């Protein structure tokens, strides 16, 4: 059993991951191994254990609904404590507000797979936590144009919108292929209209990168950023 990871070591791993993430999202060349060897020199663990830790960070990214670094498949056995610490570090390094989704979802997954899970009493009066979510400015014309272009059909699976909104419009969600959080643009060349299933899958699915590639191949207005 190796020694417990210090916050300093976790933070250095998160910083390395976010650096790879930026390069990956810009399609810049980078060598993962050199990040691991740098960490290994500094903190004395094997390169392999840093690679595995990066996959844990990918898992936290996936819980946050974000695109993980390609080639670093999410590895889910990260305890809820570490998941929470990693998410806090990601938010701190990126200067964003912490929402606490990763710690919560890790607990859900762990509990869900327990042999015995008694029916919980729950919370009669959940307390309010007032957070400021990070918001990006958006151009309503972009959303309108993409929705109109879709003609009420999901641009990924081609199914009709699942329902009609109160305003009488087909309900589809507009997703930015390169996320705004990853400095993607709010332009029609980066946005697609999706049914809720496809939209959730693009955020949380195991094979979402295949679906993303298929969208770029199929829709000519899209440009990789
Ligand atoms: Zn769909
Ligand atoms: Zn989205």
Collect all residues with Cβ–Cβ distance below 8 Å to 143 and sequence separation of at least 6: 174, 191
Q: Cα of 188 to ligand 2 centre, how many Å?
A: 14
Half-sphere exposure of residue 113: CA atoms within 13 angstroms, side-chain side: 7
pLDDT > 90: what percent of the chain?
A: 62
Assigned architecture for domain 140-218? Orthogonal Bundle (1.10)
pLDDT for res 33:
97
Which residues belong to CATH 1.10.30.50 in the chain? 140-218
Neighbours of ion ligand 2 (CB under 5 A): 175
> Ligand 2 mean position to 120 CA, how many Å?
32
Residues 60, 44 contacting (CB under 8 angstroms):
no
* Mean pLDDT of the region 90-105: 89
pLDDT, residue 4, reads 84
Distances, alpha carbon 202 to alpha carbons 128, 144, 221, in Å: 30, 21, 19
Q: Ligand 1 centroid to 58 CA: how many Å?
A: 24
pLDDT digits (tens, 9 = 90+) for 152-205: 999 999 999 999 988 888 999 999 999 988 889 999 999 999 999 999 999 999
Per-residue model confidence as pLDDT tens digits over 13-63 = 999 999 999 999 988 999 999 999 999 999 999 999 999 999 999 999 998
Distance 112 CA to ligand 2 centre (A): 26
Q: Could you tell me where the DSSP H helices lie in 29-139?
A: 32-43, 47-63, 80-94, 101-112
């Amino acid at each position: 059993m190796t020694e417990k990871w210090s916050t300093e070591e976790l933070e250095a791993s998160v910083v390395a991951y976010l650096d790879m993430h930026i390069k990956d999202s810009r399609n810049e060349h980078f060598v993962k191994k050199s990040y691991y060897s740098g960490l290994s020199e500094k903190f004395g663990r094997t390169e392999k254990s840093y690679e595995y830790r990066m996959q844990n960070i990918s898992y936290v990214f996936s819980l946050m609904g974000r695109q993980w670094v390609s080639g670093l498949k999410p590895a889910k056995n990260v305890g809820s404590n570490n998941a929470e610490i990693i998410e806090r570090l990601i938010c701190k390094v990126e200067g964003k507000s912490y929402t606490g989704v990763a710690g919560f979802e890790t607990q859900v997954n762990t509990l869900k797979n327990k042999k015995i899970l008694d029916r919980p009493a729950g919370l009669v009066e959940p307390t309010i936590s007032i957070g400021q979510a990070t918001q990006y400015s958006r151009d309503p014309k972009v959303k309108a144009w993409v929705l109109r272009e879709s003609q009420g059909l999901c641009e990924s699976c081609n199914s009709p919108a699942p329902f009609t909104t109160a305003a009488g419009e087909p309900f589809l969600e507009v997703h930015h292929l390169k996320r705004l959080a990853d400095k993607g643009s709010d332009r029609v060349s980066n946005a697609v209209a999706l049914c809720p299933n496809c939209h959730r899958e693009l955020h949380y699915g195991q094979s979402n990168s295949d679906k993303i590639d298929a969208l770029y191949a199929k829709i000519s207005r899209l440009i990789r950023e």
